[in-house]
Structure 1
Amino acid sequence: MHKTDICILGAGPAGATAALHLANKGIPSLLLDKATFPRDKICGDALSGKVVNELRRIAPELPAQLGEQQEALPSWGIHFISPGGHKLSVPFMYNYNPEQDTPAGFISKRIHFDDFLIEQVRQRPEIGFRENVDVAKYERMPEGGFILSDKQGQALVQAKLLLVANGAQSGFTRHVAGLEQEAEHYCAGLRAYYKGVAGMDADNFIELHFFKDFLPGYFWIFPLPNGEANVGVGMLSSAVSRKKVNLKKEMQRMIASHSELKKRFANAEVVDDIRGFGLPLGSRKRIISGDNYMLLGDAGALIDPFTGEGISNAMISGRWAAEQAAKCLQQQDFSAQFMQGYDKAVYNRLWKELRLSRHLQKLLRYPWLFDVVASRASKSQALAETISCMLNDVDLRERFRQPSFYAKLLFN
C-alpha cells in the first residue's frame, strides 16, 4: 500500500492541473487514473480562452506548445444561432488577426488534449502518476484521511487528503460526499465525429444552434483538424424526461430535416459512433469539500449551464485545490471547516459567471426574445459588439439580467 499526503483521483484536466500546480510548489502528489493514456473522453472538445489562460498559469509556454500540436485547431469565437435562424457572432478577442495573434481558443479532441497535459505530468518528478488503477472503495481512517481499495478489496493507497477529479460519474461524489444527481441541474448529451461537413467558419468559430423544435436543448458543430467536426446535442435531463425525448433520434432527425443542416451534411459521413455523456451543471451552489477531501471539475458539478463548457472550470478548480492543499499541509489541518477555503475560492471565481449562464439558460423559455436579440445584433455592428463584450465580460453580462436591456431592444 502506497502512503502519501495527497492523492488525486482522475488525471483529466482538473486532476492533471492540480498535480502540476502542486509540482510547481515543490509538493509531491500521487495521481491515479483508471484508464491508460491516451484515452478518449466524450466531450464537445472546445478549449476556450479561459483554458488558454489556465495553461499559461501552469507554465507560460504551454499555450504556444498546444498551438504547435497538429491535433489542435485555433478557434476565434462562437456563433449563436437563434430559433429564428439569426446568427450572433461572439469573437474571443476583438480586432484579431489570425495570421499574427496567438489564438484565443482551440478545438482539440480530448484524447489529444488530455494526453498533452499528461505529457507535462510525466515530466515532473514530483508527480507519481499511475494508470490503469480502478479505485472502488473509500474507507475513512480514525485518525483522518482515507484508505483506497480496488474491487477485490485490496488496499492501494493511504492518503491524508483526496483531490477527487474522477468525473461526472464519480462514486466518491455520490457515496461519500453525498452530492445527488439533480435533473434540473444535469444535462444529457450526445457526440459524434463527422468528416466532410460543409460551410465551416473560416476562422473556426464553434456553432451553437437553438432550433425551435428542440428547445430547451441545443445542437452544436465544432470544427476539428483534418476536416472533421464534433457534432452533438445537449438538453436538460429534466426536459428529456418530461418530453420523453430520444436524443439520438432527434439528433439524426435534425441533420436529415433542417434545411441548412441537410445541405451541410449532404456529403458528410460519421467516423465515430454517436455516444452519450452526462454534464453535472454548476447552476446551483454545492458544498464541494469536506473532511480530508475536495471535489474538482465535473465531480464537483462545475459545468457552465448555458454553453456546456467544463474544461476551463475544471482547470480553475484544480488550481485552487492545489492552493488549498498547500495550506492544509502547512497548517496540518484537513478539517471540513478549513477546507471551506477551497469552496470560497472556487465560487468567488466562478459563481457570478455560472449564475448568469443559468439566467441565459432560462431565456430559452422565451425563444422569441432570443430571436429579437440575435436579429437586432445581426443588423447592427455596434449592438453585436456590445453583446459580444457582455458575453466575454462577466460584469457586463449582468445586463442580461436587467429588463431594461430587453426593453431598449424591443422599443428602440
Structure 2
Amino acid sequence: MYKTDVCILGAGPGGATAALHLAKKGASCLLVDKAVFPRDKVCGDALSGKVVNELRRISPELPALFSHQREQLPSWGIHFISPGGQKLSVPFKYNYKPEQDAPAGYISKRLDFDNFLVDQVKQHPEITLLESMDITKYERQQGGGFILSGKNGDQQIETRLLIVANGAQSGFTRHIAGLQQEPEHYCAGLRAYYKGVQDLDADNFIELHFFKDFLPGYFWVFPLPGGFANVGVGMLSSAISSKKLNLKKEMLRMIATHPELQRRFNGAELVGDIKGYGLPLGSKKRSLSGDSYMLVGDAGALIDPFTGEGVSNAMISGCWAAAQAILCLEQQDFSAAFMQAYDKAVYNRLWKELKLSRQMQKLLNYPWLFNQVASKATKNQALAETISCMFNDIDLREKLKQPSFYFKLLFN
C-alpha cells in the first residue's frame, strides 16, 4: 500500500505536467499509469504553439530541448481546404522565416512526445512514477481522500488528493465525477500512419480538408519525420449517428475517390492498423472537481471543439491542478468548495477560446460561407493576415462570431 498526499492518475501530457509543476514547488506525488512508457496514444500528433508555451512554463529550456529531438518536425501553419476546394493557408506566424524563427508548433508522434515528458518526470526525485498499474476501483475514505485498487481488488494506493488525468475513457470521470458522454459534445476519430504520401508541405503545414460529402467532419494529413504522415478523420458523434456512417469506410472512400487525394496516395503504404478514439469536447462547461479530486485534460472534456486538439489544454489544466494542489496542502483543505478555485482558473483561461471554437465548429453547417471566406482570403493579403492573427489572438477571433464580419467580407 502506497500512502501519499497527492496521486496523479495518468502520465500523459496533463498528468506529467501536473507532476512536474508539483516537483518545481518541492511537493512529492505518485504518478500512476497503466502502461509502460514509451507507449502509443491514438492522436493527430500535432503540437500547437500553446504546447510550446506550456513546455516553457515547466522549464524555460524545455522547448529548445524538445526541438533537438530527432522524432519531431517543426510546423509553421495550417492549410484549410474548403468544401469548394479553395486552400486557405494560415501560418502560425505571419511572414515567418524558418531559418531564423523558433517554430511555433511541432508534429510528433504521441509515443515520442509523451515519452519526452516522462523522461523529464524521471529526473525529479519528488515524483514516484508507477508504471503498469491499472487502477479500476475508487473508494472514498470517511475522513476524506480515496483508496485506489486494481482489477484483483487489492488496495494499492491511499491518497488525500486525486488528480485524474487518465484520458477520455476515464472510469473515475464516469462513475465518480458523473460526467457522461453526450453525442453533441463528443467527436469520434480515426488515425492511420501512411508512408509515401506525395506533396507534403515543405514547411510541414498540417492539412485540414473539409470535403462537401463529409461535412460536418474533416479529413486531415499531418507530416511526420521519416516520410510518414498521420492521416485521419473526425466527426461529431451525433452527426455520425444521424448519417449512419462507417468512419473507416468513409476515410478509405475519400482516399480512393477524391481526385487530389487519389493522386497523392497513389503508391502510399498504410503502416499498421487504422485505430479509433473518442474526443470529449470542451463545448460546454462541466464540473471539473469535487471532494478530494480534480479532472485534467481529456478526463475533464477539455478538447478544442474545432481543431480537436487536446494536448495543450491538458497541459494547461495540469498546471492549474498542481497550483490548486499546493493550496490544498498549505490550507489542509480538500473540500469540494475549496476545489472550486481550480474550475474557475481553468475556465478563466480556456472558456473564451473553447466557446469561440464551438462557434467555428457550427460554421461547418454553412459550407458556402466557408468557401467565400477561403476564396476571398486567397486573393486578399490583408484578410489572410487577419485570419492568421486570429489563430493566435482570442480577441481578434471574437470577430468570427459577429455577423458584421461576414457581411463586410462578402460585400466589400
TM-score (norm 2): 0.99
Tell me the equivalent position of 1:219: 219
Structure 2 Cα separation of the partners of residues 334 and 133 of structure 1: 25
How many angstroms does 1:410 deviate by?
Answer: 1.4
Q: Tell me if 1:257 matches 2:290.
A: no
Tell me the equivalent position of 2:141: 141
How many angstroms does 1:97 deviate by?
Answer: 1.3
Structure 2 Cα separation of the partners of residues 110 and 10 of structure 1: 14
Tell me the equivalent position of 1:183: 183
- How many residue pairs get matched? 412
- Detail structure 1 runs of 4+ shifted over 4 Å in the superposition: none
Tell me the equivalent position of 2:405: 405
Tell me the equivalent position of 2:32: 32
Tell me the equivalent position of 1:208: 208
Structure 2 Cα separation of the partners of residues 49 and 387 of structure 1: 16
Deviation sequence 1:110-163 (CA, Å, 0-9, x none)? 000000000000000000001000001000000000000011110000000000
Tell me the equivalent position of 1:297: 297
Letter in 2 for 1:66: F
Structure 2 Cα separation of the partners of residues 251 and 225 of structure 1: 23
Q: Tell me if 1:233 matches 2:233.
A: yes
Residue aligned with 2:17, SS:
helix
Counterpart contact for 2:93–2:388, Cα < 8 Å:
no
Letter in 2 for 1:44: G
Q: Tell me if 1:353 matches 2:345.
A: no
Tell me the equivalent position of 1:168: 168
Q: Tell me if 1:21 matches 2:25.
A: no
Structure 2 Cα separation of the partners of residues 326 and 5 of structure 1: 10
Tell me the equivalent position of 2:86: 86
How many angstroms does 1:94 deviate by?
Answer: 2.2
Residue aligned with 2:371, SS:
helix
Tell me the equivalent position of 1:199: 199
Deviation sequence 1:250-303 (CA, Å, 0-9, x none)? 000000000110010012110121000000000000001000000000000000
Structure 2 Cα separation of the partners of residues 177 and 304 of structure 1: 21
How many angstroms does 1:387 deviate by?
Answer: 1.2
Tell me the equivalent position of 2:339: 339
Structure 2 Cα separation of the partners of residues 80 and 24 of structure 1: 39
What is the percentage of aligned positions where both structures have the same residue?
76
Stretch moving more, 90-99 or 224-233: 90-99
Residue aligned with 1:115, SS:
helix
Structure 2 Cα separation of the partners of residues 358 and 144 of structure 1: 37
Q: Tell me if 1:285 matches 2:278.
A: no
How many angstroms does 1:409 deviate by?
Answer: 1.3
How many angstroms does 1:247 deviate by?
Answer: 0.2
Stretch moving more, 389-398 or 235-244: 389-398
How many angstroms does 1:391 deviate by?
Answer: 2.4
Deviation sequence 1:48-68 (CA, Å, 0-9, x none)? 000000000001111111111
Letter in 2 for 1:229: A
Structure 2 Cα separation of the partners of residues 78 and 304 of structure 1: 16
How many angstroms does 1:95 deviate by?
Answer: 2.1
Tell me the equivalent position of 2:371: 371
Letter in 2 for 1:67: S
Structure 2 Cα separation of the partners of residues 68 and 107 of structure 1: 13
Deviation sequence 1:155-176 (CA, Å, 0-9, x none)? 0000000000000000000000
Structure 1 Cα separation of the partners of residues 97 and 64 of structure 2: 16
* Structure 2 gap ranges (5+): none
Deviation sequence 1:364-384 (CA, Å, 0-9, x none)? 000000100011001111110
Structure 2 Cα separation of the partners of residues 81 and 348 of structure 1: 32
Stretch moving more, 98-107 or 183-192: 98-107
Counterpart contact for 2:22–2:322, Cα < 8 Å:
yes
Counterpart contact for 2:94–2:388, Cα < 8 Å:
no
Structure 2 Cα separation of the partners of residues 390 and 25 of structure 1: 35
Counterpart contact for 2:92–2:391, Cα < 8 Å:
no
Residue aligned with 1:252, SS:
helix
Letter in 1 for 2:225: P
Structure 1 Cα separation of the partners of residues 263 and 99 of structure 2: 30
Residue aligned with 2:22, SS:
helix
Q: Tell me if 1:314 matches 2:314.
A: yes
Tell me the equivalent position of 1:395: 395
Structure 1 Cα separation of the partners of residues 57 and 37 of structure 2: 24
Letter in 1 for 2:18: A
